[in-house]
């Protein structure tokens, strides 16, 4: 039986578990993606993101729990579960000795959803969405990694999906590649397409997602909106470079009990506390004549929260 609410969700992953021997790669995870939203599954390497998405694509089976895609389960609908779904796991694969356009033509013909003329118009459209117009007659072998990732998105869009699933689309890209990929995802989101993506960068998820599930070692560490997440974020640490760390430590200890000042891991000091207390502390340093050379956040509050939730000890102290 299918209830109304189940049909409403683009993706409804309920209590899914996947084990590899004694390792629980995905541990009782539930994720609900509403139509039209951009949903992020965030977690460090090994958190279970790819395993979760592989189960959604039917590449592996969950040990327990159910996955519904637009209300359909693999058990009931088989390969039709993926009607209207496109995307890629890890990296998309193309023929390097063919051009980007030839790869798309081949895929479009195999898919058989459009005739030759429609296909060529559709190829123009998707090339435009991923900013590859003008490079489509170059061989894929000469593409940058970022261009290949974007061609992967173009190939997915050829099928005019209702749901796009992307596994770490920005992974391995340089800063320009990351920026371009984010622009593509934002454009797709604005067009009303439902997007489910995984990432290990908080700032990426913060920038483009409405809702997020943070996974850590297979389990859900957080689940909610980006705003909920912001409300939980701790005070960010600031890296402080002074001409007199000894004096700066003393001023913190004596006059600013709500600011924690401690030696930083790579030299300098790290000051942590509520924003206005930090400002008062810095003002006192200046007043006391301590030379101030740098005052920079060690990370954004959300990044700090991410490292707390995923208990990455090494990163958390930085």
Ligand X SMILES: Nc1ncnc2c1ncn2[C@@H]1O[C@H](COP(=O)(O)OP(=O)(O)O)[C@@H](O)[C@H]1O
Sign of CA dihedral 226, 223, 173, 145: negative
Nearer residue to ligand X within complex by CB, 20 or 145: 20
Here's the x/- map for ligand X, 2-41, by CB under 6 A: it reads as: ------------------x--x-x----------------
> Binding partner of residue 25 among Mg ion, ligand X, none, CB under 5 to 8 Å per kind?
ligand X
Distance CA 208, CA 183 (A): 9
The first and second tokens of residue 186, run together, are 């934002």
Task: Report the residue number, 91 or 160, with the smaller CB distance to Mg ion.
Answer: 91
User: How near is the Cβ of 198 to Mg ion at its closest, in Å?
Assistant: 7
Please check whether residue 270 is in contact with residue 183, taking contact to mean a CB–CB distance below 8 angstroms.
no
Please state the closest distance from residue 53 (CB atom) to Mg ion, in A: 8
User: Applying CB under 6 A, does 99 fall inside the site for ligand X?
Assistant: no
For residues 100 and 146, what is the distance between their CA atoms, to the nearest angstrom? 13
Asked if 87 touches ligand X (CB under 6 A), the answer is no
Q: Which of 50, 156, 194, 199 binds ligand X (CB under 6 A)?
A: 50
Cα distances (angstroms) measured from residue 5 to each of 12, 57, 149:
10, 21, 34
Q: Which does 48 bind (CB under 5 to 8 A by kind): Mg ion, ligand X, none?
A: ligand X
11 or 251, CB closer to Mg ion? 11
43 counts as binding ligand X under rule CB under 6 A: yes
* Residues in contact with ligand X by the rule CB under 6 A: 20, 23, 25, 43, 45-51
């Amino acid at each position: 039986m299918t209830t109304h609410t189940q049909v409403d969700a683009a993706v409804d992953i309920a209590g899914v578990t996947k084990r590899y021997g004694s390792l629980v790669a995905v541990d009782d995870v539930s994720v609900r993606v509403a139509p039209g939203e951009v949903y992020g599954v965030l977690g460090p390497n090994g958190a279970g993101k790819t395993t979760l998405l592989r189960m959604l694509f039917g590449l592996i089976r969950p040990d327990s729990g159910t996955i519904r895609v637009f209300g359909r389960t693999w058990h009931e609908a088989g390969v039709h579960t993926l009607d209207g779904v496109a995307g890629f796991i890890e990296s998309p694969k193309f023929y390097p000795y063919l051009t980007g356009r030839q790869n798309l033509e081949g895929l479009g013909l195999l898919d058989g959803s459009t005739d030759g003329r429609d296909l060529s118009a559709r190829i123009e459209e998707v090339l435009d969405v991923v900013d590859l117009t003008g490079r489509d007659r170059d061989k894929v072998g000469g593409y940058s990694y970022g261009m290949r990732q974007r061609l992967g998105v173009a190939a997915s869009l050829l099928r005019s999906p209702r749901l796009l699933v992307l596994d770490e689309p920005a992974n391995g890209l340089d800063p320009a590649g990351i920026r371009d990929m984010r622009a593509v995802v934002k454009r797709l989101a604005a067009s009303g397409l439902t997007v489910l993506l995984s990432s290990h960068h908080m700032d990426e998820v913060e920038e483009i997602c409405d809702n997020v599930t943070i996974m850590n070692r297979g389990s859900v560490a957080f689940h909610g909106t980006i705003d909920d997440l912001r409300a939980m974020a701790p005070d960010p640490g600031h890296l402080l470079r002074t001409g007199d760390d000894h004096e700066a430590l003393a001023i913190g200890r004596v006059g600013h009990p709500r600011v924690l000042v401690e030696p930083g891991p790579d030299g300098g000091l790290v000051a942590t506390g509520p924003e206005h207390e930090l400002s008062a502390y810095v003002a006192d340093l200046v007043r006391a004549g301590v030379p101030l050379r740098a005052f920079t956040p060690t990370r954004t509050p959300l990044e700090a929260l991410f490292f707390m939730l995923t208990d990455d000890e090494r990163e958390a102290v930085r």
